[in-house]
Every structure is written in structure tokens, then in C-alpha cells.
């Protein structure tokens, strides 16, 4: 009996001493992101033509864990003016990205479009007249598991112009999304507080390697999203 009690106390002490032993699935990760290039990846999503779209917004791995899932990110996107594609239909090939996390190139998890104030049907309007949109990639591989979401954000032309990116559309898309995100937003009963920090050194400046030969300013905006 005495030995059994000692074993129970030892087990309880081990659990208390290890913060990972209980609730590991809901704990925040320890870093905001890992630089994909450090693991052989890239800060560009592969457009399939030898060029890429800049991953110009990162939702930090230090954000609330419920934001850093596909469903959670969609709900957050709807809180800042984006939603899923019109009738769930995606035209064109998905883009892959290698986030240097050990998974290699992985296709976008989801693509979200500006919803013009109507999360149910507004993205159909975006598909027609153009607007802001972004592709989502999660950094969750075995060698760099930050949990961060890397976004390739851009503003695009209407369907009559083949959804090409508007002039300066990568920087414009990033800045427009950030303006919508910073501060307090809410959707479906969830309230978010978002802060932003601009980071240089992850992306180059200019047009080299950039799809559509559109110059970028080299800034990546890091968003930290906290559920209230």
C-alpha cells in the first residue's frame, strides 16, 4: 500500500514538473516562425512558371492556438473581410510552397478571397471584379514546427483580365489585409485582438523571381492574433 502511494505521488510530481504532459495540444508554441530558407525552403510560393508569389504576411506561431488551424484561420479571415471561394470552386492550379519545415513543397491549405461584406456570396463578386485574396501555408513539419501560417497576399484584376495581379499588387494586398486585421475584430462569437510588426530580411526587394514581374518592397508583416 505504501509503495503504491509513493508511485502515485511520483507520477503526480512528474506531471506537475512537465508543462507538456497536460494540455500539450492547446499550448502556444515557443517561436513566432522559422525562416524557411534556413531549412532549404523559400519565402515564395511556386507559381509553376519558374517564378513565385511572396509570402508577405505571417500569422505568428505565438498566436492563440485555435487560430492556427484551417477552420480557425477561416473564421479569423471572415472576421477581417475574407471568406472561402465562391461555391467552394477553385479555378486554376493550387500553388505549393516549401517552408523549410521538413515537408518539402506542399500545396496551399486554402485560398481565401475578399468578401465585400458578405461572407456567404461576396467572394463570387471578388471572382468577377477582382480584389484582395491570399493563399495559406502552415509551417508544421518535423524540423521547423512553429505552427505559423504563411500567407501569399495580393490584389488581383477582374476575371476579364485573367485575375492577373494589379500593379504593385503584392504590397497593396499585404497592406490592405493588415489594415483590416489590426485591432479588435470578431466573427461567429469569437473576438480577436491583432497586432502587427514589419520584418525585413526575409524577402528581397525588386522584381527578381517575382511572378508577373511586379516589384516588392521586401517587407513581411508578422501578425500576432490573440483570442479574447
CA nearest 186: which of 222, 228, 150?
Answer: 228
CA nearest 126: which of 87, 90, 157?
Answer: 157
For residue 27, what pLDDT is reported? 61
* Residue 199 in this model has a pLDDT that exceeds 80: yes
What are the tens digits of pLDDT across the range 57-110?
Answer: 999 999 999 999 999 999 999 999 999 978 565 556 789 999 999 999 999 999
Query: Domain residue spans in the chain?
Result: 32-227
Phi, psi of 126 (to 5 degrees): -60, -40
* Residue 16 in this model has a pLDDT that exceeds 60: no
What are the tens digits of pLDDT across the range 120-153?
Answer: 788 888 878 789 999 999 999 999 999 999 999 9
CA nearest 100: which of 33, 35, 56?
Answer: 35
For residue 129, what pLDDT is reported? 79
Cell of 156: 488581383
Kindly report the pTM of this predicted structure: 0.85
For residue 89, what pLDDT is reported? 57
Residue whose C-alpha cell is 510560393: 45
C-alpha–C-alpha distance, residues 152 and 97, integer Å: 10
For residue 139, what pLDDT is reported? 98
Q: Is 168 exposed, middle or buried (0-12, 13-18, 19+ CB in 10 A)?
A: middle
* Residue 12 in this model has a pLDDT that exceeds 80: no
CA nearest 174: which of 211, 138, 213, 218?
Answer: 218
What are the tens digits of pLDDT across the range 168-197?
Answer: 999 999 999 999 999 999 999 999 999 999
Amino acid at each position: 500500500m505504501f509503495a503504491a502511494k509513493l508511485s502515485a505521488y511520483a507520477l503526480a510530481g512528474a506531471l506537475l514538473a512537465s508543462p507538456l504532459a497536460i494540455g500539450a495540444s492547446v499550448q502556444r508554441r515557443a517561436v513566432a516562425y522559422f525562416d524557411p530558407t534556413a531549412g532549404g525552403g523559400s519565402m515564395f510560393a511556386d507559381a509553376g512558371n519558374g517564378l513565385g508569389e511572396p509570402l508577405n504576411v505571417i500569422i505568428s506561431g505565438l498566436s492563440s492556438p485555435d487560430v492556427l488551424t484551417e477552420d480557425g484561420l477561416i473564421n479569423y479571415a471572415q472576421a477581417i473581410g475574407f471568406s472561402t471561394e465562391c461555391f467552394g470552386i477553385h479555378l486554376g492550379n493550387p500553388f505549393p510552397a516549401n517552408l523549410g519545415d521538413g515537408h518539402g513543397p506542399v500545396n496551399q491549405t486554402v485560398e481565401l478571397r475578399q468578401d465585400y461584406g458578405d461572407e456567404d456570396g461576396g467572394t463570387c463578386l471578388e471572382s468577377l471584379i477582382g480584389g484582395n485574396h491570399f493563399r495559406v501555408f502552415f509551417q508544421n513539419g518535423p524540423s521547423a514546427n512553429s505552427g505559423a501560417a504563411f500567407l501569399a497576399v495580393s490584389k488581383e484584376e477582374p476575371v476579364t483580365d485573367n485575375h492577373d495581379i494589379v500593379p504593385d499588387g503584392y504590397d497593396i494586398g499585404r497592406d490592405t489585409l493588415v489594415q483590416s486585421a489590426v485591432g479588435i475584430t470578431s466573427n461567429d462569437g469569437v473576438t480577436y485582438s491583432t497586432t502587427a510588426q514589419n520584418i525585413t530580411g526575409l524577402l528581397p526587394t525588386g522584381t527578381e523571381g517575382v511572378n508577373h514581374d511586379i516589384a516588392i518592397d521586401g517587407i513581411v508583416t508578422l501578425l500576432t492574433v490573440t483570442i479574447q
